[in-house]
Each structure stands twice: as structure tokens, then as C-alpha cells.
Amino acid sequence: MSLQQDWDVIILGAGAAGLMCSATAGYQGLSVLVIDHAPKAAAKIRISGGGKCNFTNLDVTPKNYICRNPHFVKSALSRYPSSAFIELVDRHGLEYEERELGKLFCAHRASDLIQILRTECDWAGAQFSLKNAVERVTYRDQRYQVLTSQGRFSAKQLVVATGARSFPKLKASGFGYELAEQFGLRVLPQRPGLVPLNFSGKWQQRCAELSGISLDVAISAGSMRFAEAMLFTHQGISGPAVLQASNYWQEGEAIAVELLPTVDVLAELKKLRQGAGSLAKWLHGFWPKRFVNFWLALYPLQSEPANCNDAQLEAYARLLTHWELYPSQTGGYEKAEVTLGGVDTDEVSSKTFEAKKQPGLYFIGEVLDVTGQLGGFNFQWAWASAVACGIALGENR
Ligand SMILES: Cc1cc2nc3c(=O)[nH]c(=O)nc-3n(C[C@H](O)[C@H](O)[C@H](O)COP(=O)(O)OP(=O)(O)OC[C@H]3O[C@@H](n4cnc5c(N)ncnc54)[C@H](O)[C@@H]3O)c2cc1C
């Protein structure tokens, strides 16, 4: 079927935000065309959350987001809270499960959620043009002209929902930033987020030897602390605590690992001293043998606790509660779940997501300088920003 040329709204990007926005705009009677260069919509939803998509969180607050203007996210998140998205998936009978820290995942497959979004888009009458590369966008006579590999389309309103740089193998691109710059909008520098941290030299070798071991730790980076699991890999460290910390880590800085975050380490070491207990035996109560052996080889206590003075035990407790590691770099965009930075939120309205300098041009989702923590917050931002924008498209028709 060949598509008409002129539309009320063109949405670039058929990802989480693009799908949600097209349904919202379509329900308001607008003709909507969604263009994506990927062969299938919503590739990131499909693989997210280990194939089960952590699609929202029961406890979403502005504090779960990193943005140069911390107030920017408030309006959209309060107008479309996670309960609104849960209501939507409930209406479609999606089966889902709650995991730790309020995370909601599909009970079966992430594709069940994609099906719901595609159904909403169909009901709203939105049309799709996939495997279609956008070559050029111009603005003429108060309309956006979009030249693509499948022809020329035009619309009064253009929504940029092309996401960010993470996972280029899923067709992620920096297209949205280029488009923003083309229209004179400021774009903040980007870097990978929610990403494993790698080491070089002997620390990389040590991590490789420990690879596969997971420990329950708390990691501090900057002023943030995350108590979750840490996993050793062949290149360095990963796991939820590390991904979370990576959003706040800057190259050259240390991260501090609390290896026994639920234990009063100094008090326990003193008890060991009193009872003439063995440090190795005590550590075996918490860690796998491979990690105990590694730890004691690298950080031996001069002698068993029974022979240590207070200062020695205090220094050892400090090591266990503040193990400083210096990653050399992140795993890069290939391994990053998100991208920090992006289109400066000062350039767009927090109510409508329309560019302040360019009428009819909107930016939603991850292309903006808004990054959520791990736990369903990034998808919730995609849904909330998309709905606010979709409503505004109707009002500005
Ligand atoms: C491995 C992985 C796991 C994740 N797991 C979770 C999770 O469980 N929970 C969570 O909240 N978040 C998760 N995220 C983050 C989440 O996927 C993103 O924050 C979210 O998808 C952003 O939505 P978006 O619509 O802005 O961008 P996207 O969903 O990335 O969609 C952008 C779309 O634009 C298209 N596009 C890009 N460039 C062009 C172009 N030049 N022309 C046409 N189309 C273009 C892309 O093909 C894509 O379809 C995960 C990310 C990854 C990579």
C-alpha cells in the first residue's frame, strides 16, 4: 500500500516513545505517520529486561532521573504516572510480575507489551513506514518536509523520538541530536550510562579470574549509593549495582564498594578477636570460596584477629567497607542501556515537549537530556513524555 504524502503529524522513531505518542495523537483524530529505519518497531523493548521488559516501576519520582534541570521531568511524570501505564496494560490483560524495588516485568515475553502498543496504534489509526531511512528534514511554508529512502512526506508537526546512541546494533543513532542542532537547539555532550565498568592491566586480569562471581554489595559513586548485586566479568564489573553507579561515575574517579553492606564489620571483627575466630572461616560465611581466596591473597590480615590491635582491625574493616576501585573506562555504547546527555531540556517545553525556538518540532524520550536509573524508569519516561507530547499535538493542530 502506498502511503499518502501529507500528514498532520510525522513521528521519527518507532520505539517506546514513538509508539506511545503515535497512539495518543491518533486517538485525537490526527493523521499520524511513524517512520523508522529499523525493520521492526520497538527493538529495545523486545530485548529489554532480559527479554521480559522492566516496563515501569511502582515508585517513580523525579529523583530517579538525571537531567541538568532536575525540575524538567516533574510535569510529565505527574501527569502520566506509572499507575496510568499499568491501567493501560491491565486493560489489555498483560500478565506481569513485581520484582525487587518495585520493578514490573512482563510475566512471559516483552513482545506481549509490543503487541499491546501496536494494537493501540492500530486502533488510533497511526500508519507505519519501517525500513525507511530519513535522509533530510527541512521546514518550509510552516510544514516539515521529510525526505526518506521511500519518498517525500510532509507534516505540520514533527516529533523526534529517535532515541539515543546506546546499542547501535539495534539501529540506535545520533540522528536526533543532529536534527536538533540543525534547528539551532543546544545538545549536551553524551556518554554511555547503565553500563558495565572495565579495567585495564592487572585489575582486568583479576576480574577475569573472578568472572561469574556475584556478590551482594553497596557501591558509591559521586554522592549516590546503590545496594544491589555486583558481577565480575572478563573485562571488569557489571550487575545492577555497577550499572546504577556508572550513571554517576566519571573517568578517573574511584568507586567505593562495601563488600558486606548489611554487616557491622568492625563489631564483627572485634567479636572474632574475642572468640579467637578465623577470618577466613568468617568470610566463607558470606562469599564463595574463589572470592575468599582472592581476597585473602591480595589483602591478608597480618595475623588472625585474636592478635590484632584496634587500629589494625579498624584499617581492615575500612578495606571491607570502602574497597576503592578505579575503572579505566565504561563498556561503551555497545554495552550501555542508556545514554546520558542529549538535547538540552532548556530548549523544549516541559509541558508539551515542543522546541521553544521552532514551532511544531517536538523531542520526546531518550533523545532528551533525561536518563533514568535502572528499574523501569527509562521506559516510564518514554511513556510519560510521549503522552504529554501526544496531547499537545492535538491541542496545536
Ligand atoms: C539492552 C537494553 C535493555 C534495557 N532495558 C530496560 C528496561 O528493562 N527498563 C527500562 O526502563 N529501560 C530499559 N532500557 C532503556 C530503554 O530501552 C530506553 O530508554 C527506551 O527504549 C527509550 O525510548 P525511545 O523511544 O526514546 O528510544 P528507542 O526505544 O531507542 O527508539 C528509537 C527508535 O528510533 C529509531 N531511529 C533511530 N535513528 C533513526 C533514524 N535516523 N531514522 C529513523 N529511525 C531512527 C530506532 O530504530 C528506534 O526504533 C534498556 C535499553 C537497552 C539497550
Fold of 197-330: Elongation Factor Tu (Ef-tu); domain 3 (2.40.30)
Residue 32: which H helix or E strand, with range?
strand 32-35
Q: Ligand 1, residue 19: give the atom nearest the CA.
A: 25
Q: What is the mean pLDDT of residues 314-321?
A: 97
Cα–Cα dist 159/30, whole Å: 13
User: For residue 127, what are the β-bridge partners?
Assistant: 33
Q: What is the mean pLDDT of residues 105-120?
A: 98
Q: Is the pLDDT confidence value at 354 over 70?
A: yes
Question: What per-residue confidence (pLDDT) applies to 71?
Answer: 98
User: For residue 57, what are the β-bridge partners?
Assistant: 103
Name every protein residue with a CB atom under 6 angstroms from any ligand 1 atom: 12-18, 35-38, 43-44, 47-49, 53-54, 134, 161-163, 166-167, 171-173, 175, 337-338, 365-367, 376-379, 382
Kindly report the CATH number that applies to the domain delimited by 6-192+336-395. 3.50.50.60
| Centroid of ligand 1 to alpha carbon of 276 (angstroms) | 56
What b/e readout covers 151-163, taking b as 16+ CB neighbours within 10 angstroms?
eebbbbbbbbbbb
- Indicate where the chain has its CATH 3.50.50.60 domain(s): 6-192+336-395
**Residue 264 in grid coordinates:** 557491622
Question: What per-residue confidence (pLDDT) applies to 2?
Answer: 84
Residue 268: which H helix or E strand, with range?
helix 265-275
Q: Residue 386 in contact with residue 208, Cβ under 8 Å?
A: no
Q: What is the mean pLDDT of residues 169-196?
A: 97
The C-alpha angle 328, 329, 330, rounded to 5 degrees, equals 145
Q: Ligand 1, residue 15: give the atom nearest the CA.
A: 31
Q: Residue 291 in contact with residue 215, Cβ under 8 Å?
A: yes
The string of pLDDT tens digits covering residues 51-91 is 999 999 999 999 999 999 999 999 999 999 999 999 999 99
The residue to mutate among 111, 194, 337, having the most atoms of ligand 1 within 8 angstroms of its beta carbon, is 337
Question: What per-residue confidence (pLDDT) applies to 302?
Answer: 85
Q: Ligand 1, residue 171: give the atom nearest the CA.
A: 47
Q: Residue 159 in contact with residue 388, Cβ under 8 Å?
A: no
The residue to mutate among 10, 44, 149, 247, having the most atoms of ligand 1 within 8 angstroms of its beta carbon, is 44
DSSP structural state of residue 166: S
Residue 148: which H helix or E strand, with range?
strand 143-148
Residue 17: which H helix or E strand, with range?
helix 16-26
Question: What per-residue confidence (pLDDT) applies to 24?
Answer: 98
DSSP structural state of residue 392: H
Cα–Cα dist 164/192, whole Å: 10
Question: What per-residue confidence (pLDDT) applies to 384?
Answer: 98
| Secondary structure of residue 63 in the 3-state scheme | helix
Q: Is the pLDDT confidence value at 187 over 80?
A: yes
Question: What per-residue confidence (pLDDT) applies to 61?
Answer: 98
- Give the chain's mean pLDDT: 97
Question: What per-residue confidence (pLDDT) applies to 1?
Answer: 66
Nearest to 379 by CA among 394, 362, 364: 364
| Secondary structure of residue 174 in the 3-state scheme | coil
| Centroid of ligand 1 to alpha carbon of 16 (angstroms) | 6
The string of pLDDT tens digits covering residues 12-48 is 999 999 999 999 999 999 999 999 999 999 999 999 9
Give how far Cα 295 sits from Cα of 56, 136, 299, 334, Å: 38, 56, 6, 31
- Collect all residues with Cβ–Cβ distance below 8 Å to 358 and sequence separation of at least 6: 139, 183, 184, 185
The string of pLDDT tens digits covering residues 248-299 is 999 999 999 999 999 999 999 999 999 989 999 999 999 999 999 999 999 9
